[in-house]
A = this chain, B = another copy of it.
Amino acid sequence: MTIELPENSFPKVVIIGGGFGGISLAKKLRNKEVQVIMFDRHNYHTFQPLLYQVATGGLEPDSIAYPLRKIFKNQRNFTFRVAEVLSVDPQKKLIQTSIGYTNYDFLVLATGSETNFFGNKEMEQMTMPMKTVPEALDLRSLILQHFEAALLEDSINEQEAHMNFVVVGGGPTGVEICGALAELKNHVLPKDYPDLDLRKMQINLVEGTPQLLSSMSDNASTKAGKFLKDMGVNLWLDARVLNYDGKTVTLHTGRKFESYNVIWTAGVKGKTLEGLDPAALVRGNRYKVTQFNQVEGYQDVFAIGDVAAMVTEEFPNGHPGVAPAAMQQGSHLAKNIIRLINGGEMEPFSYFDKGSMATIGRNKAVVDIGYVRFAGLFAWFVWMFVHLMTLVGFRNKMVVFVNWIWNYFSFDRGIRLIIRPVNRKRGITEERDTL
């Protein structure tokens, strides 16, 4: 079945994914003589950098998600459909989606990344990922459900397993979630659970390399580690998780933790599509692209953002998987597509590194901007300002701002709601309840 779309004789640009890259690209094509079609599984854009605050009760999910239709409500040449794209036939220039087929003149993969369990099925089944809004909500429910369960436990061993958190992966997400958990432990949960001995709540961060935030400067890594330790987080660097049976985590050193709360933030991989030559895939399941974001071997198939690996001298592993890289590639590609349509030559992409940052807790963040590195209160303000400005939508900015002000002065995380409980079997989500 062919998907019915508004009639239009302009070249058809099909964008798969409404993340930072897809949105930038589509916006730049506004008022151009192209027909823009976007597909996404969700009807909203997810502001992934703040998912960890949803998971820890600091923000509403609805303030970091934004309806995609609303972003483009006045863009005449734009059509959106909620659909999963299943495969592509590059010969016929056709894609197959969950709602039917459609053809394209230019196809852009802006599908982003998903959690990488590196083939470890046990980890995939037993640990909690945090890459989508429903996953962050499930994590929020799970954390709170484990405290409710701890209250009912006679066995001290069981109680400790309910209150022991193991976060695997010391990148920005792992660091940020550990910081947020530590703040819950230090400021919030003791008031909610006066009957529990909160000293039993352990937060363990396991990182495979010798340092945290390995994509940032040594200064940032060291500072982040110090901040976390000061807040009571146990760091296990240069340590790998060997296995996890749903209760016992075993590290390669032989150390064991008993924990029902293992959060997996150890890696991502590109979300790829059936039908393209697997030879174009490189490390991290990403498509190797030319400096014009063309997928290797194709003229009219492009990839941007997390799913693309543009290998340059400066970036032998491709650009970092961050919002600015995706956004810059998206808007650059828009210009190149217009050049192609007008019979011109494409121009190579060059990345402008705006720096990187991570937050650990109140008044505690680390920022690298070129050779300028700073940490602490000012870094924390910079982090908040940049995130607030990048959030899509004025309503969302306002609601997040109100929450941050509130959380700061009250030391609170007010959204400790178990709206949809997660079914626990030995502490782990296998099935999920909805009501």
Contact = CB atoms under 8 A, between A and B. Distances in A.
A43 B418 contact: yes
B435 A434 contact: no
Interface in A95-141: 99-100, 132-135, 137-138
A192 B394 contact: no
B417 A406 contact: no
B4 A419 contact: no
A134 to B, nearest CB: 5
A67 B152 contact: no
A393 interface: yes
A402 interface: yes
B65 A137 contact: no
Contact of A60 (B60, B154, B416, B434): B60
Identical chains bound together, number = 2
Interface residues of A, number: 59
Nearest to A419: B133
A65 B141 CA distance: 14
B393 A414 contact: yes
Nearest to A189: B69
Contact of A63 (B3, B60, B67, B192): B60
Contacts of A435: 132, 134-135, 432
A225 interface: no
A395 B406 contact: yes
A1 B124 CA distance: 35
A67 B417 contact: yes
A416 B67 contact: yes
Contact of A73 (B79, B144, B191): B191
A398 interface: yes
Main secondary structure of the interface of A (DSSP, over half): mixed
Interface in A392-432: 393-396, 398-399, 402-403, 406, 410, 412, 414-420, 432
Nearest to A402: B398
Contacts of A66: 414
A172 interface: no
Nearest to A153: B4
A44 interface: yes
Contacts of A148: 43, 81-82
24 contacts: A42-B418, A43-B148, A44-B416, A60-B62, A61-B62, A62-B415, A62-B417, A67-B414, A67-B417, A70-B191, A70-B414, A70-B416, A82-B418, A100-B152, A132-B435, A133-B419, A134-B420, A134-B435, A137-B419, A138-B434, A393-B414, A395-B402, A395-B406, A399-B402
Given A132-B435, A138-B434, A420-B420, 19 more contacts: A6-B195, A42-B418, A43-B144, A43-B418, A44-B416, A60-B61, A60-B63, A62-B419, A66-B414, A70-B192, A82-B418, A133-B419, A135-B435, A137-B419, A393-B414, A395-B406, A395-B412, A396-B414, A399-B402
